[in-house]
Amino acid sequence: MIRLIACDIDGTLVGRDLQLSPRVRHTIARALERGLLVTLATGRGPSPTDYFAEQLGLTAPLVCLQGGVIYDYRLGRALHETRLPPAVIPWIVGHARARGWHLHFETTNLVYMPYGVETPDELAALFRVANLTRVKDFLTGMPEPPHKFIVSVHHPAERDGVQRELDALVQAAGLPLDVFPSHPVLLEGLPAGINKATGLAWLARHLGVERDQVLAIGDNDNDIPMLRWAGVGVAMAGGSPGALAAADWVAPGVDADGAAVAIEKYALNP
């Protein structure tokens, strides 16, 4: 019996327009009325994840920043968090400068981006509802250690090559860091071992929910750990090959309200 539903946001609950459909809203409302717990498990920070949580009327804490932060948005505070090791910041800044990579960092409330650098169109679209701030120098302009970094590319064809290069650099440096794709044009760097599965597992323990009582829904490679960890993992049609392979079932795509279909199938009408 499902007690906790964890949904990715981008490509799962919302498409490129970032709008929650009436069916998704209605289905999640039905789940909440039945006493089920619903959370968002996303690479986004607490802001703007709280924007979507408020629209859906959620009460459970949120799994943010790829599992790096468990955030109670009603209280406005992190219940659990993990930040990048300090040595990672100058290391990735130096490599990004040398290679012309578009780099930014994220913390609980802010996305730090550089001055004077053109933001890729896809990234600008994703950040329409994010809290952005520009800095002249990452090494002096961030008042707190970030939870993760993101390297973005202009075209999806560039991403895998950049990941191979980053993986080699991480291995050579011996840093406790994991790099993985979260979007066709995004690569994310987090403390080693942090992912949506570890974040969701922490939240489930906090809520007193067993692993086999969790339904996880996602669409991309960053969702693979939680799809494998959850009692039921559902991938969205059109998702990444890795997500599709990791899932127990494949739902219709985001444009066909696949997340709502999955919730109906496994939680509301099992």
Q: What is the pLDDT of residue 132?
A: 82
pLDDT band at 127 (very low <50, low <70, confident <90, very high): confident
For residue 130, pLDDT beyond 90: no
The strand pairing partners of 233, in sequence order, are 216
Sheet containing strand 132-135, strands side by side: 132-135, 111-114, 102-106, 148-152, 186-191, 177-183
Task: Give the pairing of strands 186-191 and 148-152.
Answer: antiparallel
E-only strand ranges, 27-185: 37-40, 62-64, 69-72, 77-81, 102-106, 111-114, 132-135, 148-152, 177-183
H or E segment and range at residue 186: strand 186-191
For residue 119, pLDDT beyond 90: no
For residue 125, pLDDT beyond 80: no
Average pLDDT over residues 186-211: 97
For residue 126, pLDDT beyond 90: no
Query: Which of 218, 258, 238 lies closest to 23 in space, CA to CA?
Result: 258
Residue 120 is given by DSSP the state P
For residue 10, pLDDT beyond 90: yes
Q: Worst-scoring range by mean pLDDT, 48-62, 111-125, 135-149, 180-194?
A: 111-125
Q: What is the pLDDT of residue 3?
A: 98
